[in-house]
A and B are shown apart, each in its own frame.
Chain A
Amino acid sequence: TQLLEQSPQFLSIQEGENLTVYCNSSSVFSSLQWYRQEPGEGPVLLVTVVTGGEVKKLKRLTFQFGDARKDSSLHITAAQPGDTGLYLCALRRARTGANNLFFGTGTRLTVIP
């Protein structure tokens, strides 16, 4: 059973369009991270959200953490070909120890020039 569900699994859009991808969990978590992974590379952290209702912006990317801290969304405005990649959300459970980060299955985004 997946702890985290991401949707959609695949998304192909034209350059300049807007898009939103979602990350949902049945559990409450202490924080959530979004990573982007480009082909042939490892994931790279984009943002960490900690507070319910929190909104963070990173240039054309807007990240929102649900009020109940069980879901998150990533909105990209005016997508560019450089945004192409696999977007992974990862939740951190409120427990001590190094094994408390769990990844979703990812949304694979393709932005067509």
Chain B
Amino acid sequence: NAGVTQTPKFQVLKTGQSMTLQCAQDMNHNSMYWYRQDPGMGLRLIYYSASEGTTDKGEVPNGYNVSRLNKREFSLRLESAAPSQTSVYFCASSDQPGSSTDTQYFGPGTRLTVL
């Protein structure tokens, strides 16, 4: 039981390049999330998927797209990377998003640098 896995762990891009961050969970959770973490800003929600087949914008969606490929996988795409997207990206999943006691399980993160 690996929990939430993310690839790659590190990535360096040049401005304007594109890339896709991959995330998979093996806990049969319905909901999945993408966050970015920047110094002094905490974790901010980029996009989420409440269930397979649905995706919605979070707090900071500009410059990103997502795909909920199936119940296990949720990918984040940067079409034209910008230096402002330099950050650590975390994927998470949860089973009861409407519950006050819902727990989000996080992956180990992808550290992205855009030059």
- Contact present for B106 and A31 (CB under 8 Å): no
- Contact present for A100 and B40 (CB under 8 Å): no
* Given A97-B50, A97-B97, A104-B108 contact (CB < 8 Å): no
- Contact present for B104 and A45 (CB under 8 Å): yes
Q: Note all chain A residues with C-beta closer than 8 A to B98.
A: 96-98, 100
Q: Is A78 an interface residue (CB 8 A)?
A: no
Q: How far is the CA of A45 from the CA of B102 in the complex (A)?
A: 10
- Contact present for B108 and A99 (CB under 8 Å): no
Q: Note all chain B residues with C-beta closer than 8 A to A43.
A: 43, 90, 104, 106
- Contact present for B101 and A48 (CB under 8 Å): yes
A81-98 vs B, CB cutoff 8 Å, 1 = contact: the mask equals: 000000010101010111
- Contact present for A42 and B4 (CB under 8 Å): yes
Interface members, chain A 68-113 (any B CB < 8 Å): 88, 90, 92, 94, 96-101, 103-106
Q: How far is the CA of A33 from the CA of B107 in the complex (A)?
A: 18
Which partner residue on chain B sits nearest A32 by CB separation? B100
Q: How far is the CA of A43 from the CA of B109 in the complex (A)?
A: 10
Q: Is A28 an interface residue (CB 8 A)?
A: no
Which B residues have a C-beta under 8 Å from some C-beta of A?
4, 31, 33, 35, 40-45, 48-50, 56, 58, 90, 92, 94, 97-98, 100-109
Q: How far is the CA of A100 from the CA of B108 in the complex (A)?
A: 22
- Contact present for A98 and B97 (CB under 8 Å): yes
Cross-interface CB contact of A45 among B42, B100, B103, B109, cutoff 8 Å: B103
Q: A40 CB to closest chain B CB, in angstroms?
A: 7
Q: How far is the CA of A94 from the CA of B99 in the complex (A)?
A: 9
- Contact present for A98 and B31 (CB under 8 Å): yes
Which partner residue on chain B sits nearest A4 by CB separation? B42
Q: Note all chain A residues with C-beta closer than 8 A to B43.
A: 43, 88, 90, 103
Which partner residue on chain B sits nearest A106 by CB separation? B42
- Contact present for A48 and B41 (CB under 8 Å): no
Q: Is A30 an interface residue (CB 8 A)?
A: yes
Q: A87 CB to closest chain B CB, in angstroms?
A: 12
Q: A105 CB to closest chain B CB, in angstroms?
A: 4
